[in-house]
Structure 1
Amino acid sequence: MDPRDTAWEHDDATYRAYFWDRSRAASDEYEVTGADVEEVLAWSRARAEQTGSAYTLYVRVTDGGETGLVRLSGVAGDPFA
């Protein structure tokens, strides 16, 4: 990998956390800004433990005008599949 291949950086990340409740086959979603990834990871893990749910944490990325999600931690794919 060449570190010079980076075209841009963004210091203020937006995170999206999904908490999967298998008992009702639904999720609760939260968008988090103004926090460091370590803070958001700790909050996600604590909330999942408190609620008995699984979680997935993403960082929201905009590329070429389109918004997408990059998984950072937690359940991959559809946990209800």
Structure 2
Amino acid sequence: MQVRGVDPRDTTWEQDDATYRAYFWDKPALASDEYEVTGADVEEVLAWARAMAEETDSTYTLYVCVTDEGSPGLVRLSGTAGDPFA
């Protein structure tokens, strides 16, 4: 991990309400269940994803949804990197 100080004036926008995507990977079935989550902060979503993964005996990947030059995309926040079946 690398940490450096930053000037907070280097960004041009900020958004308080985030949309998250959670993927739960079921390795024996080679399948995943996907959910979109709104109306919660990242700590609430992480707690839910961890509990859901434990309850369903799966691994998870949590993303925040972003838009870059008009195209939707995902930024991984936590969990398994990429498709574990690939």
TM-score, normalization by structure 1: 0.95
User: In structure 1, what is the Cα distance between the partners aligned to 2:47 and 2:55?
Assistant: 12
**Could you say which residue in structure 1 is the equivalent of 2:19?**
14
Question: How is 1:37-76 mapped onto 2 (pairs within 5 angstroms)?
Answer: 37-76=42-81
1:2 Cα shift?
2.3
* Gap regions ≥5 residues in structure 2: 1-5
**Could you say which residue in structure 2 is the equivalent of 1:77?**
82
Which 4+ stretches in 1 moved above 3 angstroms?
Answer: none
1:47 Cα shift?
0.3
Deviations 1:20-40 (A, max 9, x none): 001110100000000011000
User: In structure 2, what is the Cα distance between the partners aligned to 1:7 and 1:49?
Assistant: 39
TM-score, normalization by structure 2: 0.90
% identity of equivalent residues: 79
Amino acid at match of 2:41: D
* Gap regions ≥5 residues in structure 1: none
Q: Number of residue pairs matched?
A: 81
Who wins on radius of gyration, i.e. which is larger? 2
Amino acid at match of 1:27: S
User: In structure 1, what is the Cα distance between the partners aligned to 2:12 and 2:70?
Assistant: 15
- Alignment of 1:30 with 2:32, yes or no, is no
User: In structure 1, what is the Cα distance between the partners aligned to 2:41 and 2:27?
Assistant: 28
